Structure formats: structure tokens, C-alpha cells
Amino acid sequence: MAIADRTMRAAMRIVAYGTFFLVVTCCTIFWTRFTGGLAFVWLGTAIASALFLALPRAQHFMAAAFLTMMSTVATSLFGFGPVWAFPLALINVFEAWFIAWLLVRIRPERDYIESERGIVWLGLLAGVVGPFAAAIPGGLLVTQIVGGSAQFHAFSWLVGHGLGTLLVMPLALLLTSYREPLVMRVREVGKVFSFSAVVLLTLAISACALLQSTLPSLFLPIVPLVLASYHFGRFGASITVLIITAFSAVTLGLDVGVFAELHLELWQKVLFVQFYLSVLLLISFPLAVALKQRQRFLQELVNREAMQRLIADHSDDALLHLDESGTIRFASPASTRLSGHDTVEGRHLAAFFGTFDRKIVVDALALAARCPGQTEIIERSVERGGQTRWLEAKLRAIEPARKQASTFVVTIRDVTERKLAEIQISREARTDVLTGLPNRRALLGVLEEQLEFADERPFGFALIDLDHFKAINDSYGHAVGDKVLQQVAGIMRDSASDDCLFARIGGEEFGLVAVGSAVDNMAIICERLRLAILRNVMTENDGGHFNVTASIGIARISERCSSSMAMQAADGPLYSAKAAGRNCLRFAQHMGHFVPAGTNDMPASPLRAIR
């Protein structure tokens, strides 16, 4: 049913356009064949092309057949007779179809009367390319009919069809594009009077310009044409051009006014009038289209601004617009809460951050200005109401126009919860679950940092291993073993300081990194730790008590090396401590710098830990 309805509507449109095509071609052939050859005014191509553009491709053949029949009838009655009517009709219909095909092929957007570029392509294809393609076979055919020069007939075809199509095609497309009557566009309150005034002004100026020939005044109709285009768009431009066309036709037919004074043949005057009217149309339509696009752009701008205001007013993020210097020119309501200031407009973007972060903000703005379209991210901690908050700023430079300086758009949000979660995840990833001490990963990270500058700032490193821990697990169970590890970790936490980091490497093995003043006291720190572990009383499951001892290997790292080599430096003395009966400290070979008075260790000598 839907297909049948569409087919019926298409057939009705074809009949309507075809009938109008027949009437127009009959009139132009009857009145404008001044030399007995081709008609010098040809409007039928524009009507037929508009029909082809309005129909789906599947129905083009049906439309072409009906238009060919109508053109044949018109030429048979008022033109060259029935013998030559059909081949001329084929060329006429081909010209219209070819123009429509070119327009769709080159401008599939179908914006022929919607944009400046579309109008340019419409003028080129409908006014030049299409008529030129048909002028050659048309001129040759007319030469066979009436004789004369094929070049003259081809030129007459090109000019007559080109100007006529150029004049009528925009109007035909305008009529085809609107789904509601055109008069509805001027029925709004307040527009009827102004539209009537423009019509009367056009009539008056056209009469003054065309009916007299004393003064050159063909430019005067441009005034109402511009007014109509400005106030009523393409519809106003079309009505104004139609009024001027009617006046031109009357003066040309009565041989009065400015056109009567032209020292030209009648057919030349007709071509000149078509050229004049086409120029007026090409002035008014691009102007009307540009004004319509401007109006649409302004409306979109208003709608976008309203939407942005709505988003800004209800957003928890601060939305900012900065000038080229980074000064805030627009700020959403959330800016007050995130910045801690009553107002931020007129302040620099750095007002959201701490005093020491200003250089970071300025550098980010400079980097964004060098790379417009690339987002730069700043993430800094700030103090708000006695609490530490984290702010994330994303800023992007707006592409500058005409070598102007870049401006910036910025969003700032509170990412404290996310940052705390990241810190917690990072802490958990670097913390031993059982003991709560830093884990092997954290220890290696600290080692890498210290090894980077070990030749300038030597540091101490120790490995601590609980003695006979496997026997504890076997005798008392893993639960007791875990408690032992936790209690030892507690002792290490009590011994830790800003210069001492304890970490669990794995199993019953722990590590110690000492920096700063703790390096010289490494032996004392480790001895106190050994004694604290020894004196700590452990409790087994049945209430019994036992003690745990630890062996410790100490090394002084005073040159750059890998973390594995640093651990090997402390692993050697740890093995020596185990071999010496456990529950003691041993130092890396020749590390006399760590030997405290009264300890039983290797002789002192100034040797580096890693050789």
C-alpha cells in the first residue's frame, strides 16, 4: 500500500510538472522565436530538471517519457512541426536530466539553494555545462531544419537555455523544497505589512528604473531586492525578481522604457534582459542564503550558549574560559567552591592552586598554546578548610583565528576520592599484607633511588633473617609462625625512623635501608634490633613461651650498582652470621667503618661494599 501511494504521488507530480512544462514551452516557443529558429527564452529545462531532482532515480524514465511527449507536442504546435519535434524533445529532456544528474553527482548534499558553494555549482552546471552539452547536437539539428550556421544555432541554444535555466532554476528548486505554502512564511503577525511595503517599493522602483530612459537606472531594483532578501530570505528575493521580470517583459513587449533605447535586435534585447535578470537573481540568492546561514548560526550559538550555561550551572566541575594570558574571563558557579575564593573572574588560573604551583600552571598553558587541540592535565594537592584536596585541571587552547593569540577552555574537578584510592592501591601494592611493613617491591624502589646517588651519598643496607624459622612453623604451626613475623615486624616499626626503612623481603627475611645519620649508627641500630628480637617472648598455642633470634648481614654501599648486587653485598655477611652460629651481626668484608668498639668481627679496612 505504501509503495502504491508513493507511486501515485510521483505520477501526480510528473503530470503536474509536465503540464506546467507544456504551458511554459508553448508560450516561449510562440513568443520568442524571433528569427524563425530557436526560441531565445527557454524556461522548460529548469522545470524539468527540478522534477528529476525531486523524483527517485527509479522514476526518472517515466518522467522523461512524459516530458518528451509534452515537448514534442509544444514543438509540433508552435515550433518546427511534428517531423523534427521528437528529436528536439529528446535533446531538451536529455539536457534537463543531465543537469540534474550532474548536480546530484557533484553536490550530493543537494544544497543548491542552501549554501554559497551550492549556488556556485548550480550556476555553473545549470547555466553553462548542461546547456553546452545539449547545444552542440541541438545546433546541428536546427541547422538541418532551417539552415544557417551551426555555430550560431549552438550559441543561441547555449545562451537562451543557459540564461533561462539560470533564471528559473533557483525559483523552481525553492518551490520544490518547501512542504508548506510559501505564503505561510509571511503570515506571521507583523510581517504582512512589511512584506506588502517591500512589494510596493519594488513596484515603484521597477517602474522608475524600467519605464524611463533618460537616466541610467537599471541598478535601482537592487535596493528592494536586498531589502527583500534581508527580511524574507530566498522567498522575498524570488518575489522581487518575479516583479522585476514582469515589468521587464511589459516594457520589452510595449517597446518602451530603457530597453527600447537599446540599439539591438529584438532577440538580442531578450537575451540582454535575461542576462540582467539572472544577474539580479545571482546577487539576491547568495545574499539571502548567507543571511539565512548567519541566522541559523546565531540561533545555534544562542542554543549552545544556553545549553552550556545550563551545564555549567549544574556541574560539579568548574568550567572556565581564559584569555591569552591565562586570566579567567568566565567561571561556572562550582569555581567558588573549588578555588576557595568568592570570585575567580579576573584572576589567573593559578588561583585554584598553591603558590608554588604557579610555574607548573604557566608552563601547562604555554604548552597548550603551542599545541592547540591537545589537552594538558594538571593534578595538584591544595589546602581547603584545613583539609588536603586534590584538583585535576584539563586545559586546551582554542585554535586561534587570523594569527590572534590562543585562548583556553579549562575544566577543574575535585579528584580527592580517586587520588586517595590510587594512593591506597599504591600503598597496598607496596605493603606486606601479613606484617604491614613495606614489601619487597617497596624495598627495591628505595634501593634504586639510593643507588642512583650512592657514590655521592653512601648508605647502609642490611639483611635480617630469623633463625630456625622453619622449625618454629613445624613445631608450633603456621599460625604461630605468622604471629612471630607480626611481632618482629612490630619491633622493626618501633625501631624505624625517617632515616631507617624496614621491609619484609619474603618468608622470614627482612631488609633495612639506612641513610643520613643512621649510616654511621648502622651497627648500633642492628644490634639493638637483634637484642629486642631476642628478648621478646613469643607465646605458643598451649600457653608455652619461646624466644626467637635473628642473624644480620650489613653492607655499606658507596658506589652505583644494581639492586641485586647491593643485596649480594649484604647476603655475604648474613651467610657468615649463620655460619658463625646465628644470633649475631656480620659486616661486609673490610667494612671496618661499621665495627663498634668491643664487637667480635672481621678486621677493619676501608673497602667498598661492591667491587
Whether 109 shows a pLDDT value over 50: the answer reads yes
CB 314 within 8 A of CB 407: no
* Phi, psi for residue 371 in degrees, rounded to 5: -130, 75
Q: Which domains does the chain have, with CATH numbers?
A: 1-177 (1.10.1760), 185-314 (no CATH), 315-423 (3.30.450.20), 431-594 (3.30.70.270)
What's the start-to-end Cα distance of the chain, in Å?
Answer: 95
Angle, CA of 66, 72 and 78, to the nearest 5°: 135
| Percent of the chain as helix, strand, coil, to the nearest 5 | 60, 15, 25
DSSP class of 546: E
> What is the model's pLDDT at position 258?
83
Q: Classify 520 as helix, strand or coil.
A: coil
According to DSSP, the β-strands at 550-557 and 585-587 are parallel
> What is the model's pLDDT at position 50?
92
C-alpha cell at 318: 568548574
* Phi, psi for residue 345 in degrees, rounded to 5: -65, 130
CB 590 within 8 A of CB 606: yes
Spell 351-366 as b/e; 16+ CB within 10 A means b. bbbeeebeebbeebbe
CB 56 within 8 A of CB 7: no
Q: Report d(CA 54, CA 49) in Å as an integer.
A: 9
Q: Report d(CA 487, CA 465) in Å as an integer.
A: 14
Partnered with residue 388 across adjacent β-strands are 383
CB 228 within 8 A of CB 198: yes
Higher-confidence residue of 311 and 605: namely: 311
Give the chain's mean pLDDT: 85
C-alpha cell at 298: 546565531
Task: Tell me the mean pLDDT in the region 334-344.
Answer: 87
Q: Report d(CA 187, CA 146) in Å as an integer.
A: 52
Whether 309 shows a pLDDT value over 80: the answer reads no
Q: Report d(CA 460, CA 522) in Å as an integer.
A: 7
pLDDT tier at 582, thresholds 50, 70, 90:
very high
Q: Report d(CA 461, CA 296) in Å as an integer.
A: 73
For 491, how many CA atoms within 13 A lie in the half-sphere containing its CB?
25
According to DSSP, the β-strands at 585-587 and 459-466 are unpaired
Kindly report, residue by residue over 501-560, the tens digit of the pLDDT: 999 999 999 999 999 989 989 999 999 999 999 999 888 877 788 999 999 999 999 888
> What is the model's pLDDT at position 298?
81
Kindly report, residue by residue over 3-41, the tens digit of the pLDDT: 777 788 888 989 999 999 999 999 888 888 777 778 878
H or E element, residue 483: helix 478-495
Residue type, position 112, single letter: Y
> What is the model's pLDDT at position 175?
75
Q: Report d(CA 592, CA 607) in Å as an integer.
A: 8
576's CB contacts (< 8 A; 6+ apart) are 553, 586
Q: Report d(CA 492, CA 486) in Å as an integer.
A: 10
CB 269 within 8 A of CB 262: yes
> What is the model's pLDDT at position 593?
38
pLDDT tier at 609, thresholds 50, 70, 90:
very low
Task: Count the helices and strands in the chain (H runs, E runs).
Answer: 18, 12
C-alpha cell at 100: 540534474
Q: What is the pTM of this model?
A: 0.53
Whether 594 shows a pLDDT value over 50: the answer reads no
Least confident interval from 212-216, 376-380, 471-475, 584-588? 212-216
Least confident interval from 15-24, 35-44, 83-92, 391-400? 35-44
pLDDT tier at 589, thresholds 50, 70, 90:
low
H or E element, residue 329: strand 328-331
DSSP class of 355: G
Q: Closest Cα partner for 470 from 480, 456, 460?
A: 480
H or E element, residue 504: strand 500-506
Higher-confidence residue of 428 and 576: namely: 576
Q: Report d(CA 54, CA 421) in Å as an integer.
A: 62
H or E element, residue 198: helix 191-210
Whether 467 shows a pLDDT value over 90: the answer reads yes
Q: Report d(CA 73, CA 171) in Å as an integer.
A: 25
pLDDT tier at 180, thresholds 50, 70, 90:
very low
Q: Report d(CA 462, CA 495) in Å as an integer.
A: 14
Q: Which of 107-116, 175-184, 264-273 has the highest mean pLDDT?
A: 107-116
163's CB contacts (< 8 A; 6+ apart) are 127, 271, 274, 275, 278
Task: Tell me the mean pLDDT in the region 368-396.
Answer: 88
pLDDT tier at 468, thresholds 50, 70, 90:
very high
Q: Report d(CA 327, CA 346) in Å as an integer.
A: 6
